[in-house]
Amino acid sequence: MIHESDDDPVRECYRLASSARAEAMRQSDPACRAAFFTMEDCWIGLAQSFQLIESISDFGWEILRRHPVGDVMTESQLPCIQCATPEPLLDSRCGGEALAPAKNGLDDL
């Protein structure tokens, strides 16, 4: 059970993972020890999931900040996908190659 001792769920998950590891180290029964190590892995996985959600959310807000709703970009306005310079799709300075249109598997039918 997560106790609401901290507003940061990532920090709380890592704290609980640390507690599970410490408890595992105190156990003499191999099955109990394995269960606490599994619990530690689960808390770490949950913390990483929270971190991924935060990262995706931050990315989404940054996209909205740069391109407010209604400020639609055309394909020729997209930045270089390899070096993120504001040149359209391909910046010759990055040494990238032009991209072929993506195939969806239906083109050969």
At 59, which helix (H) or strand (E)?
Answer: helix 30-66
Give this prediction's pTM.
0.54
Tokens 């689960």 label which residue? 42
Residue 23 lies in a domain: yes
Domain total in the chain: 1
What pLDDT is stored for residue 23 in this prediction?
98
Sign of CA dihedral 20, 25, 27, 29: positive
Structural domain boundaries enclosing 12: 1-70
Residue 79 lies in a domain: no
Kindly list the distances between the CA atom of residue 47 and the CA atoms of 7, 43, 67, 109, in Å, as whole numbers in the listed order.
13, 6, 30, 45
Residue 59 lies in a domain: yes
The phi, psi pair for 45, rounded to 5°, reads -60, -40
Residue 29 lies in a domain: yes
What pLDDT tens digit does each residue of the chain (109 aa) get?
444 455 799 999 999 999 999 999 999 999 999 999 999 999 999 999 999 998 888 888 787 777 766 666 666 666 666 666 655 544 455 555 544 455 555 555 5
